[in-house]
Amino acid sequence: MPTLLRKLLLLLAVGVLLINCSKWKLDPYDLIPQVKTGTPPAGPATTSVQVDCVIEALGANTLQEFGVVYSTSNQQPTTSDTKVVATGTSGSAPVVLNGLQPNTTYYYRTYAINNKGLIGYGETLSFKTATVIAEVKTLDLVGTPGATSFQVQVQVTNTGTVTLKEYGIVYSTTNQQPTTADTKVLATGTTGATTPVSLTNLQPNTTYYYRAYAITSTGDVSYGDTKQIKTGEPAPVVQTQDPVGTPSSSSAVLQAQVSNASQITLKEYGVVYSPTSQTPTIADSKAVASGVTGASVSLIISNLQPNTTYYYRSYATNGAGTTTYGDVKQLKTGAATPTVSTVALLNTKPLLLGNISATVSFTVDPAAAVTEYGMVLTPDPNQISALMAGTAAPLRRFVTAAPANGKIDFEIKDLTENSPYYAVAFAKDATGKTVFSKEFAAFQTKYGPRGNWRQLANLPTQLAGVYNTLFTINGKVYVGGQAIGSGVNYSYFKQLYEYDPETNMWTKKKDLPGTARIEPTVTVLNNKAYVLFGIGLNTSQVTYTSDAWEYDPATDNWRGLSTPPATKVGGQGVYNLQAGAIPFTYNNKVYALFGRGPYNNDVNLTNIYNSLYGLDPSAGSNGSWDVSFPLNDKGLANNVIYSAARSAAFYFQDGNIVYFGGGLIASAYNAVGANLPYSTYFNSRQIWSYNAQTSELKQVALLPTTFNDCSSTGPTGDTGGRMQYTAFVVGTKAYIVDCSHKTWVFDLTTKAIPTQVATLNNPTGTVGIGVGVGTKAYFGLRNADWWEFTP
């Protein structure tokens, strides 16, 4: 095309364009929306931010859409990046940008689109979100920690605001604030939930510090609270060893070993064993070790049975109380050489006259090894050592071929009465070896039977004089005295002993709480004993007592009773200081008739009383008393009263009648210058009776002239012998034993003259105390012999 033509066409186009522009009146702001970007937040943003978007001008067009576009990489973000559309069609509106990443820079600006599709953008601004760490918690343990592991729970509570890279537990034995630089265990599973984490391959019995941790995608590390725990102890590891040497018949040496003792707290270890259980435990027999742990420790188990198989094994218990055992092994004890022990003297007892026997106990162990056992005997104490050594020829030898085990009661007969003996036990085994005991039994034989009399176990009170307390309740006999002191002091009643005829044994009971005394007035009412008055133990002068006591054998207890009055109302004299009265019971009361006491209150002079004291033990809290003079009240003459009145008499009761005789009467204490009345009205052979119901007093019998009261013919030379006899009732007859041990029978029905029935020819003891029990009576001599009488 020619150049001229091209230029003409160009001018024509420009002209047409200028004509049209003038017609339209073109405004560039009518084409693009005018908007403004709101300022970023003042503080650090987190996961969401609110910004304002403002429409400044739209021209003749309408708004189609507006909002905010943003990006982390495009510094001039467009609608091709992330956008958030605002609500509304004009003006301004807030827009919230959610789901932002922490510690990140964001670029944003406002945009608007009109109805022509034209887009307008505001100024580009930026903000940076804050750094957010994970919120992690160290939770409780799961179960109980083991010796090498434990499990703990972890939780991250803000997983919605952070992105986790990893989380779990960090722990250390030295660092009390462990970090990821220490040992760590990663958690697996849903984040945000409670997640268990197991720590394994730990050291036993060791303290660990641990805490939860979490690392975000940005590399930020956070921790929970630090806790600590001590791992448990491992079970002991024990080995059962073979016996050391050969077990004997009764013992064996075993070994116990704990190989991991350094890793545990060793509470106890040793060996358990049993002859019956093939898997012995600590509930069976055990030998506990001491000393070095971890090494092989030798233990001696003893008191085993001979020729017996035992199952045994080592054991150990750690500090947690866990007990483990080694393998079970077994051993067998050897056959034993017999051992013999003379245990004790059981008793010595008389059989028929001239056939005195003794029973001695001893043990022989073991029975299986014994072919013969017995005793050797000698009366010579100088041969005891030789007997035990087996070198002396014994006076007597008693043998049996039957094997035995345990305690043997060996009765030896045909011994000499009232003689000392010494016994040594022996045993012979299958090899013919004889073993003698290293102890001996010493005993003294009793006297042989004396007609109606049989000797029993000795009194423990040393002396059984007329002064002693004696009573019987429910088939048992009770004797008072003292096992200490010397001379006549033995006779004073303080200690109380109970004798059981069934077992021939004495039992100590509770002591009398009051003053030790002689010649108390003693009787029994309703299965209780009553001890009244007496002469107290005083070395300088005679001291009379006025107290009273009740003894209950069912409870072995004493009760103090009220003090009796000195005399009856309106009367004269002091009658409650007395001793040796005649006791009896009537109408549920206890009575003391006659007795003796100080003359004109002078204890150096003695007067025989004519009083009667009565005690009602059930009245009031401690009983009540009355005192009377019934014989005077009946108008009896003094010569009659003082023929009967006496102290320390023999007595016995039949119903409401009390019988008495002998004893000390007025003339016995007619001291020079005392001018005591009625010194001639007595006869020690008379037996009197007193009726408790009617107060009638009368003489009922006269003992034969052969009755021995051990007194001289006149009062001035009196030796007090009239106190040396006693009386007791068996059935319908009363028996009186005089000073020569002659026994006289008095028929309570016929009241005929007493006749002699037996004599106890004991060369050493003088007459003491006696009491009837059922069909027999029991009698004590002043040398502590104790006899049984059978009518």
Q: How far is CA 148 from CA 151, 186, 205, 443, in A?
A: 11, 18, 8, 71
Cα-Cα-Cα-Cα torsion 206, 212, 217, 218, nearest 10 degrees, comes to: -90
Q: Residue 669: its pLDDT value, please?
A: 46
Furthest CA-CA distance within the chain: 207
CATH of domain 28-128: 2.60.40.10
Q: Residue 125: its pLDDT value, please?
A: 93
Q: Identity (one letter) of the amino acid at 42? A: A
Q: Which fold has domain 345-444?
A: Immunoglobulin-like (2.60.40)
CA distance 720 to 718: 6
Say which residue, 687 or 9, is predicted with more confidence. 687
Domains of the chain, residue spans: 28-128, 136-230, 238-332, 345-444
Q: Residue 462: its pLDDT value, please?
A: 57
Residue 49 has pLDDT above 80, yes or no: yes
Helix (H) or strand (E) holding 641: helix 638-644
Domain 238-332 homologous superfamily, CATH: Immunoglobulins (2.60.40.10)
Q: Do domains 28-128 and 345-444 have the same CATH topology?
A: yes
For 306, counting Cβ atoms within 10 Å of its Cβ (0-12 exposed, 13-18 middle, 19+ buried), the class is buried
Q: Identity (one letter) of the amino acid at 505? A: M
pLDDT tens by residue, 85-94 = 998 767 788 8
How would CATH label the architecture of 136-230? Sandwich (2.60)
Residue 579 has pLDDT above 50, yes or no: yes
pLDDT tens by residue, 102-122 = 788 999 999 999 888 899 999
CA 484 to chain centre: 35
CB-CB neighbours of 224 under 10 Å:
22
pLDDT tens by residue, 388-405 = 888 887 776 667 665 555
CA distance 42 to 440: 112
* Mean pLDDT for all residues in the chain: 80
Confidence of residue 214 (pLDDT cuts 50, 70, 90): confident
What is the token pair recorded at 735? 């028996």
Residue 313 has pLDDT above 70, yes or no: yes
CA distance 171 to 181: 10
Most confident of 29-38, 69-78, 204-213, 770-779: 69-78
Say which residue, 308 or 162, is predicted with more confidence. 308
Confidence of residue 640 (pLDDT cuts 50, 70, 90): confident
Backbone angles phi, psi at 407, to 5 degrees: -80, 135
What pTM value is reported for the model? Answer: 0.51
pLDDT tens by residue, 696-711 = 999 998 888 887 766 6
